[in-house]
Structure 1
Amino acid sequence: MKMRMKILVLCLSSTLLALILQTVLFKYKSSSLIYNQTRNENLHLLDNMQNEIYTYIKAIEKNLIQVYTDKDFLHDMASNQNESELSKKYDRMAYQIVTEEFQTGDRVDALYVYNIEHRLISTYRRAVTPKYNYPKDIYNKDYPCNAEMVKKYVSSEQNNMLISSYYNKYRKKNIIRFVIRFYDTRNIQRKIGYIVCDVDSIVLNKIIDKYKSQQGMYIWLQPRGDRVTVFDGSVDEENQEYYQNKVMTIKKGKTSSEKEESIGNHVLFCVGQNKYNLDAYSLMQNDMLKENQRGLTQSLLIIALIMIIAITLIFIVASSGITKHLVQLMKTIEMIKSGDTQKRVTYLKDDEIGRLGREFNEMLDEIRDLISEEYETKLMLKNAEYKALQAQINPHFLYNTLDTMSSIASVQDCEIVSSLCQSLSNLFRYSLDMKHPYTTLAKEIIYLKNYIFVMNVRMGGEVQYKFDIDETALNEKVPRISIQPLVENALQHGIKNKTGDKVIELIARIRGEQLQIIVKDNGLGMDATKLNQQLEENKLELVEEGNSIGLLNINARMKMIYGEDCGLQIKSEIGKGTSVILTIHRAKVDEVKDV
Structure 2
Amino acid sequence: MRILRKMADMAANAKFRIKLLVSYFLLVSFIILALGFAYYQISARNMLANVKESLGNVVINNNQLLDEKLQYIRDKSEMLPIDNELYQVITETDVADNESLLKADRRITQILFKYFGGDTDIYASFILTPPYNFGNTARMFVMPEAFYASSLYRKAVAGKGDLVWVPTYRFAETLGEKEMSGLDFEFSKLVSAVKQLNLTFIDDKGIFHALPQTMQKPVLMINLTPDYVGRLFADYARQSEFRHLSYGILDDGGAVIIDSDPGRGASEGPPSWMGEAKAMKYGSIQKIIDEKKMVISFSRMESTGWISYIEIPVKDALQDLNALRRYSTFFLILMLVVSILLAYGMSVFITKPISRMKKAMKLMERGNFHIHISEQGRDEFGHLIRTFNHMNDRIQTLIEENYASRLREKDAELMALNLQLNPHFLYNTLTTLYWIAIENNQKEMSLIIHHLADMLQTSTRNKKETWPLRTDLDWLNKYIYIMSSRFEELFRVQMDVEEGLMDREVPKLFLQPFVENAIIHGFAEKEQGGVIEIKGWSDGEMVFFTVADNGRGIEKEQIDQLRSGKIGSTGMLNVEKRIKLLYGSQYGLEVHSNKGSGTTIVIRMGTFPGKQDKTEVQ
Taking structure 1 as the reference length, the TM-score comes to: 0.41
Taking structure 2 as the reference length, the TM-score comes to: 0.40
Higher relative contact order (CA 8 A, sep 6+): 2
